[in-house]
Amino acid sequence: MLPTGCITTAEALAPYLNLSDKETQSLRRIISVYPLAITPYYLSLVDPSDPEDPIRKMCVPSLDESLYEGQSDTSGEADNTILEGLQHKYRQTALILSTEKCAMYCRHCFRKRLVGKSTEETKGSLDAMADYVALHDEITNVLISGGDAFLNSDSMIEAYLERFSKIGHLDFIRIGTRTPVVWPERITKNLLEILAEYAKIKPIYIITQFNHPRELSEQALGAIRALQASGLVIRNQTVLLKGVNDDPEVLGELLRRLAACAVLPYYVFQCRPVLGVKAQFQVPFSRALPIVNKARSLQNGQGKSFRYCMSHPRGKIELLDVIEGKLIARFHQAKSAEDDNRLFSASISSSQAWLDENLS
């Protein structure tokens, strides 16, 4: 039988996954550093008899999380923070960290430094953020993220939409949420009515994150269809994760099924070398590029519309290929104009999974 509420402790999780006392104790130690939250719905997708289950890997802590390899902020987010809760890295985009809360704390999260914790990087004053965006007419879109933007109350979501939909130089508003994947019940009638009302004024894109075909359940697809029927466009960002989707057939099936339900694959992201994430989930470039390029070759034109990127302090870098020990890449989004669209190559080792700050 499934739990009635969100699972947040090792003790509450133990009976559902038949964890031993020793495993429960280890989990308790990890959770004291990186919080746990698993919704009953997402737990229902886990195969409790399979310790290698890809769905389990995304929600249940592994002992690898306690390996102190990696950094807490891999793309310089703190340096791009202009106001509490607002980052301005790329000219055209303001990123808002509207909450530190998520329905589920994904074990591979790149914002592990702040999700589920008390932090000053999120939840700035909406007035101050809206004034900043209104004064900067080079900003053409805002991304309301977190944490998970749909963990805000309906009235708070409405307040964001009300303020930003009035700013003339914004072409559209994006909302980052994983709730259709991990908590489809959050897509309620009231929330849909609010979204539908503001989507008539300004296009709203929902940016979500499906990482495995088994996440495309009937409930998740029901939430997606309801959002689409309310006039929203849904786009997906997948993270390439060892033991979850680092297989061309699995990734290929995910991308194909996403395109088939009009959730266009937008990015496949290289997993960041984040503390508590790197050791468990990162795939080296020399393995990752053949996987992603094979998965791409299995798609029709719509499924091929994604870019495989890594988020670097200097911008978003599209990863194209590995040829004779060199990574071939191009700046897709650059922080400074001199890097715009720049194609470059970098010698890499066979185990390398990230590029350091000193790019030539």
Sequential DSSP letters for 273-286:
-BTTTHHHH---HH
Segment interacting with ligand SF4 (CB under 6 A) among 143-151, 200-208, 255-263, 294-302: 143-151
* Least Cβ distance, residue 59 to ligand SF4 (angstroms): 9
Report the alpha-carbon distance of residue 124 to residue 101 in Å, rounded: 14
Contact 184, 148 (CB under 8 A): no
Question: Which amino acid, residue 98?
Answer: S
Report the alpha-carbon distance of residue 18 to residue 24 in Å, rounded: 10
Segment interacting with ligand SF4 (CB under 6 A) among 81-89, 108-116, 119-127, 317-325: 108-116
Of 358, 339, 333, give the one whose Cα is nearest residue 347: 358
Segment interacting with ligand SF4 (CB under 6 A) among 20-28, 124-132, 141-149, 186-194: 141-149
Report the alpha-carbon distance of residue 297 to residue 301 in Å, rounded: 10
- By the rule CB under 6 A, 105 interacts with ligand SF4: yes
Report the alpha-carbon distance of residue 50 to residue 248 in Å, rounded: 21
Sequential DSSP letters for 157-217:
HHHHHHHHHT-TT--EEEEE--HHHH-GGGS-HHHHHHHHHHHTTS-EEEEE---SGGG--
- By the rule CB under 6 A, 148 interacts with ligand SF4: yes
* Least Cβ distance, residue 201 to ligand SF4 (angstroms): 27
Site string for ligand SF4, 197-226 (x = CB under 6 A): ------------------------------
| Degrees, nearest 5: CA angle 103-105-106 | 120
- By the rule CB under 6 A, 45 interacts with ligand SF4: no
- By the rule CB under 6 A, 115 interacts with ligand SF4: yes
> Phi then psi for 310, rounded to 5 degrees?
-125, 145
- Taking CB under 6 A as the criterion, the residue among 106, 130, 250, 295 binding ligand SF4 is 106
Segment interacting with ligand SF4 (CB under 6 A) among 43-51, 87-95, 105-113, 300-308: 105-113
- By the rule CB under 6 A, 329 interacts with ligand SF4: no
b/e per residue 177-188 (b: at least 16 CB within 10 A): bbbbbbbbebbe
- By the rule CB under 6 A, 275 interacts with ligand SF4: no
Site string for ligand SF4, 164-193 (x = CB under 6 A): --------------x---------------
- By the rule CB under 6 A, 61 interacts with ligand SF4: no
- Taking CB under 6 A as the criterion, the residue among 13, 109, 232, 329 binding ligand SF4 is 109
Q: With CB under 6 A, what is the number of residues at the site for ligand SF4?
A: 10
Residues in contact with ligand SF4 by CB under 6 A are 102, 105-106, 109, 111, 115, 146-148, 178
